[in-house]
Amino acid sequence: GAGYLTGGSPYGSASGSPGGFGRRSEISHSLRPLTVHQLNEAVQAHSDAEWVLEDAEIGQVTVVAHVVTINPQTTNNLYWLDDGTGRIEARHWTDSSLDEGAESSEGIREGTYVRVSGSLKMFGNKKYINATHLRPVKSVDEIYFHLLEAMTVTLIWTKGPPPRPGQNPQDVVARTGAAGSSAYSAHSHATASNDQYAQLSKMQRAIIYFIRDQPENKEGVHVGAIARAVREDADAGTIGDALDKLMDDGLVFTTIDDSHFKVAD
């Protein structure tokens, strides 16, 4: 995943903050599985802007597709990819400092499937993937897994995360802002176990409840998902300030990088 605030980045001002929300580069560090159709639907406000898909900024992308043709050139290899939802080109620039055969594209042939990771670019009014990593797909399961993963991630951003086992789905809707509800309404659903957050602002409580509602994982929750959940009546700077305050108070902490958060036990 990436930024998820309409009309701006969720990482605050360009000057940044202790939590790192001013760094536009955080968006480029995210990786989102997408289909070629979704890549073709992505738009830019201007040539230097981040790519946006359904109000969500996207950074690094990964696709699994069939290699239709390969066109080796002096400085790069051009791959024409088709995943059944559309077609797009991918360019992989060769590195003259590497020994011949050391490229990650070794073993990729026309008629096979490949996983490509990189960034979306535009040249001559045509989109292409600036590929940083390519590798052959060795199992048909990976093809289906990628499509399911792309759909799952898209549904989470558009409709909110699924409820945990035994959790009331309406409680998830209220806390995540899905289905038109605001995450601020989470306060009315707070249980006695969450009384420790009573002194927090509505924004801070909404952030805490959203992080706690997500499926447990060691990476934590990306700031983009948090921003999307609490974006109603809030701007990027307000969300960043609230996260900074929660970190200062020891209530949340970063995990694998400055963009992923978990709630302190």
pLDDT tens by residue, 232-253: 656 777 888 889 889 888 899 9
Query: Residue 41 has what pLDDT?
Result: 93
Angle (CA) 250 251 252, round 5°: 95
Neighbours of 152 (CB within 10 A): 13
Q: What is the mean pLDDT of residues 64-91?
A: 95
Is residue 53 within 8 A of residue 41, CB to CB? The reply is: yes
What interhelical angle do 169-176 and 202-213 show, nearest 10?
Answer: 130
Query: Residue 78 has what pLDDT?
Result: 94
**Digit-coded pLDDT (tens) for 158-193:** 777 777 666 665 555 545 444 433 343 333 344 434
Owner of token pair 């055969």: 101
pTM of whole model > 0.75?
Answer: no
DSSP string for 157-225? HHH-PPPPTT--HHHHHHHHTGGG--GGGGGGG--GGGGGGTTS-HHHHHHHHHHHHSPP-TT-EEHHH
Is residue 125 within 8 A of residue 77, CB to CB? The reply is: no
AA letter at 220: G
Lowest mean pLDDT among 2-11, 81-90, 121-130: 2-11
Which of 190, 262, 243 has the alpha carbon at shortest distance from 10?
Answer: 243
